[in-house]
């Protein structure tokens, strides 16, 4: 399917990589071509999304959409990938495999699904190009990163905030590559339940995200914030000890519960009073590169509430900001050295029944093919108890999982 979809200027592929997930509906989905587009950098694009009568909708919301939700916020750094703040498309062709079945379903407008299937099965299963060897520069060097964490800890001590997500950009300014083998290499090394391969004209995203931002099924809304990271080990006994230490780590649990509380507050703004609850706290989930601490928060959407209000009142996701959300977004804009753009935003789908599933865009590579600019961002949650050197190591651990495919 991915070789077949190459000629389309707009497509989004979502892959669960076989992870057992009680809420996911599909093993994978592919949306190709745009029969209708809803996009905007001004006004209220979420309202247009709510009013759309399109069938399926696939697309993204960038982190910088915060500036439309809260006009007092700005983004001071240049946009190097230039994604629209919000962009959704009603696809010409949708292919999907429902969870737990071997059946591929194809829906198409203006073309027979059988013809699409025949075209897909004629394609070779492998890429003809390879991943180039590339090196990355750091937008913020180690000394500056450590010093910035020291300044953030002063904000924490002064009571400005009690947790802040601080990120750094790695970039390669003259990269020539084919995005598809990059995505395949990333997905092979770091298979994740919310992986995505996205093209919007000359912009590409290769994503290995383990995190769900927001899921809607009927009137049930769920969010699964991640806060807490530990490395994996090849030795099973040592690996189990690392997972146990993560679950019992007071600092990591404090980070996680702060964000879980923030998500509960966000969901309460669109859910029935008293329906918001923590279904799971401090669950340890293991991925190829790291163990993660994940909590699950759910609620019941109020009757008559626009489905987009669940997004409006919870975006951007608390796991990528910190708390209190408005103040930490101000500090992120002040201290980070690059615009986040699609990083820590979301991609996903909206069904014809207006259910949806959106990821958190982390562990991702972004490629501007027009400018040959390749980048990623990684970071972590900073609290007053954070050790700057350990925060640098955690940030570099996440970056290594992305950089290694080019070495």
| Tens-place pLDDT, residues 105-131 | 999 998 999 999 999 999 988 877 899
Quote the pLDDT of residue 127: 77
Which of 163, 169, 211, 403 is catalytic? The answer is: 211
From residue 137, how far is each of 61, 151, 218, 396, 399 by CA, in Å?
Answer: 27, 23, 45, 12, 11
**Per residue in 206-265, pLDDT tens?**
999 999 999 999 999 999 999 888 889 999 999 999 999 999 999 889 889 999 999 999
Q: Where are the domains of the chain?
A: 2-406
Rounded to two decimals, the pTM is: 0.95
Q: Tell me if residue 66 is catalytic.
A: no
H or E element in which residue 392 lies: helix 388-403
Quote the pLDDT of residue 129: 85
**Per residue in 61-83, pLDDT tens?**
999 999 999 999 999 999 999 99
Quote the pLDDT of residue 361: 98
Give all strands (DSSP E) within 72-175, no chain letters: 86-98, 105-108, 137-138, 163-172
Quote the pLDDT of residue 271: 97
**Average pLDDT, whole number, for the chain?**
95
| Nearest in space to 204 (alpha carbons), one of 67, 97, 60, 77 | 60
Tokens of 269: 């703004």
Confidence of residue 290 (pLDDT cuts 50, 70, 90): confident
Quote the pLDDT of residue 125: 84
CA–CA dist 249, 257 (Å, integer):
12
CA–CA dist 93, 113 (Å, integer):
8
Q: Tell me if residue 394 is catalytic.
A: no
CA–CA dist 59, 52 (Å, integer):
14
Q: Does domain 2-406 have CATH number 3.60.120.10?
A: yes
Quote the pLDDT of residue 196: 98
Which of 227, 252, 336, 398 is catalytic? The answer is: 227
Q: Is the predicted pLDDT of residue 29 greater than 80, yes or no?
A: yes
Confidence of residue 385 (pLDDT cuts 50, 70, 90): confident
CA–CA dist 228, 381 (Å, integer):
8
Confidence of residue 389 (pLDDT cuts 50, 70, 90): very high
């Amino acid at each position: 399917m991915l070789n077949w979809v190459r000629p389309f200027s707009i497509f989004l592929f979502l892959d669960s990589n076989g992870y057992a997930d009680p809420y996911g509906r599909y093993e994978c989905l592919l949306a190709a071509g745009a029969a209708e587009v809803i996009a905007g950098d001004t006004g209220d694009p979420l309202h247009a999304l709510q009013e759309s009568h399109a069938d399926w909708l696939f697309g993204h919301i960038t982190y910088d959409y915060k500036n439309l939700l809260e006009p007092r916020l700005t983004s001071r750094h240049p946009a190097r990938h230039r994604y629209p703040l919000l962009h959704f498309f009603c696809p010409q062709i949708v292919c999907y495999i429902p969870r737990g079945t071997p059946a591929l379903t194809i829906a198409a407008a203006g073309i027979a699904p059988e013809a699409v299937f025949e075209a897909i099965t004629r394609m070779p299963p492998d890429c003809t190009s390879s991943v180039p060897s590339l090196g990355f520069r750091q937008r913020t060097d180690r000394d500056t990163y450590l010093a910035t964490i020291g300044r953030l800890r002063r904000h924490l001590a002064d009571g400005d905030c009690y947790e802040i997500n601080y990120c750094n950009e790695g970039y390669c300014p003259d990269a020539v590559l084919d995005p598809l083998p990059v995505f395949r290499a990333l997905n092979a090394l770091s298979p994740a339940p919310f992986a995505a391969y996205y093209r919007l004209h000359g912009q590409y995203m290769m994503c290995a995200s383990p995190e769900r931002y927001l899921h809607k099924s009927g009137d049930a809304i769920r969010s699964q914030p991640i806060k807490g990271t530990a490395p994996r080990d090849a030795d099973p006994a040592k690996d189990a000890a690392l997972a146990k230490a993560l679950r019992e780590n007071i600092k990591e649990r404090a980070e996680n519960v702060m964000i879980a509380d923030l998500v509960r507050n966000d969901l309460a703004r669109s859910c029935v009073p008293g329906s918001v609850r923590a279904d799971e706290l401090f669950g340890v989930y293991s991925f190829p590169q790291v163990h993660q601490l994940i909590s699950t928060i759910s609620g019941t959407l109020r009757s008559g509430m626009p489905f987009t209000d669940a997004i409006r009142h919870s975006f951007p996701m608390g796991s990528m900001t910190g708390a209190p959300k408005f103040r930490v977004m101000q500090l992120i804009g002040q201290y980070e050295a690059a615009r986040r753009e699609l990083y820590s935003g979301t991609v996903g789908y909206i069904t014809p029944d207006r259910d949806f599933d959106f990821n958190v865009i982390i562990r991702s590579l972004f490629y501007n093919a027009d400018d040959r600019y390749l980048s990623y961002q990684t970071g972590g949650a900073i609290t007053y108890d954070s050790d700057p050197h350990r925060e640098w190591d955690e940030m570099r651990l996440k970056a290594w999982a992305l950089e290694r495919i080019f070495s």
